[in-house]
Amino acid sequence: MTVLGIEGTAWNLSASLVDDDEVLCEASSAYIPASGGIHPREAAQHVANNIAGVIRQVLSSTDPRLIEGVAFSQGPGLGPCLRIVGTAARALSLRLGVPLVGVNHCVAHIEVGRWKTDLVDPIVLYVSGANSQVLSYRQQRYRILGETLDIGIGNCLDKFARSAGLPHPGGPKVERLAQESRNYLPMPYVVKGMDFSFSGIVTAATEALKSASLEEICYSFQETAFSMLVEVSERALSQMDKSDLLLAGGVGANARLQEMLSVMCAQRGARFYAPKSEYLQDNGAMIAHTGLLMLRHGIQTAIACSGANPSFRPDEVEVPWIETH
């Protein structure tokens, strides 16, 4: 089966063509704010200006008659971006005369990770800009075991970086600066059962800018926030009695986070997996691949049900394609 997928929830507009085995083609256009963070109106304008181009690029790589479905990111994400992506996907599905399928962006991050690592039933740590969750598959759904009680870890890094005068996206810049220090400053560590909170770290780190070096703040920020994520991931592995951990989402590209998770997994005899960075950050292939799984299992989205869903939760999605036994 060959499916075209369109991702456009926030910063990376991306279209991709996949079949059952591999990514056949991908074309992307990243929105990089001139100053400040992601502005929803500007992000939507970026999608509107570039969506025809990325779709055209992907279509030109194949005979459009071979495309058997059109998948699109239905949510969660920025409403103004989602609406443009949905409109393009509906038009394309009608034009090609093939089924339309609305994909949950969080589930797509997980599915591309499972695809690229050959994992069946891992605990998933999904860490990106707007989302931070620990999930586990059980009875036809990804269940959210724990999540941030306020902002996602990526937004938290980006927000702090902005107040330190660093350009968006802040996550990779904080990672580089953190490598220059080993001096730990205490930061708020908030874990409640399987849930966690990051807003206190942003406040403390911003306050520390008055008296400490940027390098030591970045180091302390990462060590504290990532330790919280390692703690809940370990608790999830233990409570669900699973032995694989999969990392998903853009913040997963961070080498220090990967190192801390792999040490924890090695200590308890579990296995740690992360796909390549191109499949951690937002990408069209994850939407196309998840759309393919859905279509293969008879799930389609009627035009009347294809509206944007900015607060779409991963546990709302039926997942009939995992066989755990």
Among 77, 113, 275, 284, binds ligand ATP (CB under 6 A): 77
Among 14, 74, 131, 224, binds ligand ATP (CB under 6 A): 131
Among 5, 127, 282, 309, binds Fe ion (CB under 5 A): 282
Distance CA 138, CA 240 (A): 10
Contact 263, 146 (CB under 8 A): no
Distance CA 100, CA 176 (A): 41
Residue 73 binds Fe ion (CB under 5 A) = no
In the shown chain, the binding pattern of residues 272 to 291 toward ligand ATP, with x for contact by CB under 6 A and - for none, equals: ---------xx---------
Place of tokens 């406040």: 203
The CA–CA distances, whole Å, from 293 to 99, 129, 173, 265, 287 equal 13, 25, 36, 29, 10
Chain center to CA of 31? 16
Contact 170, 160 (CB under 8 A): yes
CB of 129 to ligand ATP, least distance (A): 2
CB of 259 to ligand ATP, least distance (A): 12
Contact 128, 136 (CB under 8 A): no
CB of 128 to ligand ATP, least distance (A): 3
The residues in 204-263 that bind ligand ATP, with binding defined as CB under 6 A, are 249-251, 253-254
Residues that bind ligand ATP (CB under 6 A): 9-11, 77, 105, 109, 128-131, 152, 154-155, 157-158, 169-172, 175, 249-251, 253-254, 281-282
Residues that bind Fe ion (CB under 5 A): 128, 282
